[in-house]
Amino acid sequence: MATSLRCFLRSGKQAVLVVARRGIHRSPPAALQVTVRDALNQAMDEELERDERVFLLGEEVAQYDGAYKVSRGLWKKYGDKRIIDTPISEMGFAGIAVGAAMAGLRPICEFMTFNFSMQAIDQVINSAAKTYYMSAGLQPVPIVFRGPNGASAGVAAQHSQCFAAWYAHCPGLKVVSPWNSEDAKGLLKSAIRDDNPVVFLENELLYGVPFEMSEESQSKDFTVPIGKAKIERPGTHITLVSHSRYVGHCLDAAAVLAKEGIDCEVINLRTIRPLDVECIESSVMKTNHLVTVEGGWPQFGVGAEICARIMEGSAFNYLDSPVTRVTGVDIPMPFLTDVLVCGLAEFGSVSPGRRSRAAPLKPEAHLDGKKLKRHQHLN
């Protein structure tokens, strides 16, 4: 159904392009609404077609079309050799994937969620991440580990952990965390083409969300470079840095704040490791205020790392107030269904005698089953 719809839309797009080229009617090219799931599917389809060595393995990826239908249609198209259903043993099939990567193939190893990757984390870290260094460059491991990360809706503590900080801690891995469909498609293609092990953190709640994809992003060679953040919304008063689903929350907050006259700059990290510190620093030098927003736990997290890097770098002198981290609460995720929590976060603080700009700001962040806690540093 989705495939035929896509075909229909593509043919429509082709028609528009032809007309536009003839100069008969100049209109902007049709941008498509594509869900993150379809974008990931497209990325894998295109890379499987492009390179014979690429293959996908994981639980339910073949005959079931994927636990979350991300690999829909791929088994029918590519067959048993390239889309492999595995038994329920992450330790086993992650090891098999890493071994296949060592021997010259380019596997995509899907974890049903990254919570299960903990079973296989020895293979991800000790066998995949460290090998290129330990072998002094003799043995590359071109593998992608992908799957949904972080909180979902009502899946409780053991199925809701965010692993961004865990994996980003380790040298030898690249860690990416896309937000919209363009991110998802472009980053997955880059990850598959990268010769390093890449941890690709998706978000289950984003799978069904449609985003506009530009015409350029519909090309088979469209990639998003790993290691570069994107400024989703330029602003002047305060910088909000986030990754994955919470970029959407930041944009919503920015829209609310814009009505109060506060102009937020929203940065979509896209890549957690290597972190694009330059982008954050140049933004902080412009706005003088920084808030990090993430779903993971606060201690030793992505926000903590950003704070440390800003403090160590040249942008520290431009800060008018300490960095605020907005994170998930430091508890195992409770089981809460249909609970919308409005998190009120106060950004920055006004201290008399300083020419800082931020008045207490109150963005509304609607989150399913999750509380936000503010870490405020008072001057």
Partner 1 sequence: MKTMLAIISNALCRITGKNAGAQTVSEGARVVVSRSLSDFTPQATFDIKKCDLHRLEAGPPTKAELTREQGLQYYRTMQMVRRMELKADQLYKQKIIRGFCHLYDGQEACAAGIEAAINPSDHLITAYRAHGYTYTRGVSVKEILAELTGRKGGVVKGKGGSMHMYAPHFYGGNGIVGAQVPLGAGIALACQYQANNQICVTLYGDGAANQVRRIRIQSSPGLKVQSTPRWHEGHVSFSCHGFFNLLFTAARIWCRKLFL
Interface residues toward partner 1, by CB under 8 A: 55, 81, 84, 86-87, 89, 91-105, 107, 122-123, 126-127, 131, 133-136, 138-139
Please state the closest distance from residue 166 (CB atom) to partner 1, in A.
Answer: 18
Of 89 and 376, the one with the shorter C-beta distance to partner 1 is: 89
Strands 238-242 and 290-293: parallel
Active-site position among 46, 47, 59, 90: 90
Give min distance, CB of 62 to partner 1, in A. Answer: 13
In the complex, the smallest distance separating the C-beta of residue 114 from partner 1, rounded to whole angstroms, is 19
Q: Which is nearer to partner 1, 18 or 88 (CB)?
A: 88
CB-nearer residue toward partner 1: 20 or 96: 96
Q: Which is nearer to partner 1, 128 or 306 (CB)?
A: 128
Indicate if 169 belongs to the active site. Answer: no
Instruction: Output the smallest distance, CB 107 to partner 1, in A.
Output: 8
Is residue 90 annotated as a catalytic residue, yes or no? yes
Give whichever of 79 and 332 is closer to partner 1, judged by the CB atom: 79
Which position among 60, 159, 346, 375 bears the catalytic label? 159
Smallest gap from residue 103 Cβ to partner 1 (A): 4
Q: Furthest-apart CA pair in the chain: how many Å?
A: 69
Catalytic residues: 90, 159
